[in-house]
Amino acid sequence: MELDDLYQQIILDHNKKRAGYGLHPGGFPSHQYNPTCGDELTLTVRLSEDGATITAFEWEGKGCSISQASASLMTSEATGMSVIEFESFANGFRDAMRSRGTIALSEDEYGDLAALSGVSKFVARVKCAMLAWVAAEDSLILTRESLN
């Protein structure tokens, strides 16, 4: 396992850039916590008025470069997706992360997120990469529940 598999330049950049960073009031924020390292992240998914499309991800939190870059890259790549699209997008991402290096994210589908493919070889870091995604899925559930 090479360190550069994990820390591609795009990741180091997004760790600093942090697209979507900053929470605004309202919405249904989800707070996620990683007990091993104490990292945490709060994220709100914003939907279009008809509830069908993701218009924004807003998040704040502290954590390692993988967790920060993953949140930032998700924001960059998934903003504008329909909720349905995002769900399968997130499933695909999770499958790749859990694959222990056997599934790579295609650049066609995942764009810059493909840079996170290497994480799946570092089992201890998969949770870091998933933190923002778990928060997004949870925020979507909270949003949907509020509609019922």
Partner 1 sequence: MSQFTPEKSAAIRAEFPQLSETVSGHPLVYLDTAATSLRPRLAVDLESEFALRHTAAVNRGAHSLAAEATEAYDDARASIAAFVGARPNQLVFTSNATESINLIALAFQLASAVGSPARFSLATGDEIVVSEAEHHANLIPWQEVARQTGAVIRVAPITDGGELTAEAVKSVMSDRTRIVAFSAVSNVLGITNPVRAISDLGRGAGAIVVVDACQSAAHGHLDVESYGADFVVFSAHKMYGPTGIGALWGTTKILAEMPVVLTGGAMITRVDYDSSDYLPAPAKFEPGTPRLTQAIGWAESLRYVESIGVDAIAAHEEALGADLLAGVADIPNVRILGTADAVHRVGLVSFAVDGVHPHDVGQYLDSRGIAARVGHHCAQPLHKRLGVDSSTRFSLGMYSTSDDVALALAALADVRTFFGEG
Residues within the interface to partner 1 (CB under 8 A):
1-3, 6-7, 12, 15-16, 33, 35-39, 62-66, 122-125, 128
Q: Which is nearer to partner 1, 36 or 148 (CB)?
A: 36
Question: What is the rounded CA–CA span in Å between residue 59 and residue 145?
Answer: 20
Least distance from partner 1 to the Cβ atom of residue 111, Å: 22
User: What residues contact residue 64 under an 8 Å CB cut-off, 6+ apart?
Assistant: 37, 39, 125, 128
Least distance from partner 1 to the Cβ atom of residue 95, Å: 18
Phi and psi, residue 45, nearest 5°: -95, 130
Question: What is the rounded CA–CA span in Å between residue 59 and residue 107?
Answer: 24
Least distance from partner 1 to the Cβ atom of residue 148, Å: 25
Question: What is the rounded CA–CA span in Å between residue 99 and residue 121?
Answer: 8
Q: Which is nearer to partner 1, 6 or 132 (CB)?
A: 6
Least distance from partner 1 to the Cβ atom of residue 67, Å: 8
Q: Which is nearer to partner 1, 14 or 28 (CB)?
A: 14
Q: Which is nearer to partner 1, 47 or 131 (CB)?
A: 131
Question: What is the rounded CA–CA span in Å between residue 71 and residue 59?
Answer: 8
